Structure 1
């Protein structure tokens, strides 16, 4: 009897384009078994999957990590599912910020502890991925089309988590589609024109609904913000930036 991790690894390699012979060699599994898994093994994988979903099975949910992961999903994540492949949560991270990537991977593992997290390299970035049909239960915002072209709304149970952990939710948003930068400006003085610099947070997203969620979480923490553009939330006042520095900070 083969383990669930072996089946998952085989399906992962198959989706990456490897042939059954090569997959069998890597996993020390007969080629015929790999072919069976790739043809219909999703059914076997489902039968082996133990109760693991906080929503379906009334198991405890790590809400602190979920609030962070929800922010990341709304920013740079999506779910794929289909007739011939398993359900996968994808979260994209820039190669320049390995600490952020590690934090998102840890959050994915904490929310569904029995699911493994894999990394797929892309040009200039990489994708964190985790397979489980229960990601659909945890992220009901999944749907057809891009997020900014459809309504995105939190379920009451999700909103309760965001209200309880707005700092973690904001950290996830800014780690995905946001940044902390150093702005500069000039000011005329009696000695001439003086240049000065100041830190600023920005969150950019094309979805008005997600931008509104960011603003609501900032309001809940009494953090001043504004909209310099319709697709951008900016935090630039010194006390507000200092407050965000307490739980977001620069990407790392």
Structure 2
């Protein structure tokens, strides 16, 4: 929860004609939270959360669709939803300790999607679980179900597809940050009798689920990014992006984990 001073400062900056995006970057407060303060600046009562946009009489998209698109990618890769008690569910995203920037980005995305729900970080061996509890995570991520994701059908609802189509790079970045990486390969060539080494970067995305890999490649196709399949034990498992122009485009919109 943000204190009243932070809330008033953010609203004062908006009152100066600043955009929500610039105020969010300066204060570290999500755009969704600032937008909600424009109608109610007082903190909500303890234990009371924002109504779920999917449970409204007329279901709507989350307040910050770009953050949702990114969080959807993280969830499909390294996320899970588990039932607690009294109808409450816990969203957990596993983030490696090696990438503190990813941990911060994940926490901010969760806060942007559910501004009044607390976000916690639970340390485990080599990673942190960024977690948040809400009754509405299954509403926001209808892909939730029993068993592992690669053992069941994974498909986006029409409203989710609309968000991904509007914010495709956020979705791709979430998938790469969860189950992907940017690495530098190398090879050698004989040039005039001299063996020279050449380094070249490429992106990989690996997931056991055929459906999740298809969501990744379908989005890449719409963005005009070329890709190829790499097999494991003769079965598709990893998506490779290696052409120079495609890697350059990924670097602009995704970049390496940090």
Following TM superposition, by how much is the alpha carbon of 1:185 offset from its aligned partner in structure 2, in angstroms? Answer: 1.1
Number of residue equivalences: 206
Distance 2:104 2:49 in 1: 26
Distance 1:64 1:84 in 2: 30
Following TM superposition, by how much is the alpha carbon of 1:247 offset from its aligned partner in structure 2, in angstroms? Answer: 1.1
Q: Which residue of the partner structure matches residue 240 of structure 2? A: 234
The structure-2 alpha-carbon separation of the partners of 1:168 and 1:192, relative to structure 1 and needing over 3 Å to count, comes to same
CA contact (8 A) 2:54 2:139 kept: yes
Alignment of 1:163-178 (within 5 A): 163-178=165-180
Alignment of 1:186 with 2:188, yes or no, is: yes
Q: Which has the larger radius of gyration?
A: 1
Distance 2:86 2:119 in 1: 20
Which residues of structure 1 form unaligned runs of 5+? 1-46
Partner of 1:231, secondary structure, is strand
Which residues of structure 2 form unaligned runs of 5+? 1-45
Q: Which residue of the partner structure matches residue 164 of structure 2? A: 162
Distance 1:65 1:86 in 2: 22
- How big is each residue's C-alpha offset from its partner over 1:177-199, in whole Å with a ceiling of 9 and x where there is no partner? 10000011122222232211001
Alignment of 1:1-252 (within 5 A): 49-57=48-56, 58=59, 60-83=62-85, 86-229=88-231, 230-252=236-258
CA contact (8 A) 1:92 1:127 kept: yes
Distance 1:86 1:165 in 2: 29
TM-score by structure 2 length?
0.77
CA-atom RMSD in angstroms: 1.6
Following TM superposition, by how much is the alpha carbon of 1:133 offset from its aligned partner in structure 2, in angstroms? Answer: 1.2
Q: Which residue of the partner structure matches residue 39 of structure 1? A: none
- How big is each residue's C-alpha offset from its partner over 1:143-176, in whole Å with a ceiling of 9 and x where there is no partner? 0000011110000100111111110000000011
Partner of 2:150, secondary structure, is helix
Partner of 2:93, secondary structure, is strand
CA contact (8 A) 2:180 2:204 kept: yes
Distance 2:157 2:90 in 1: 21
TM-score by structure 1 length?
0.78
The structure-2 alpha-carbon separation of the partners of 1:234 and 1:53, relative to structure 1 and needing over 3 Å to count, comes to same
Following TM superposition, by how much is the alpha carbon of 1:49 offset from its aligned partner in structure 2, in angstroms? Answer: 3.5
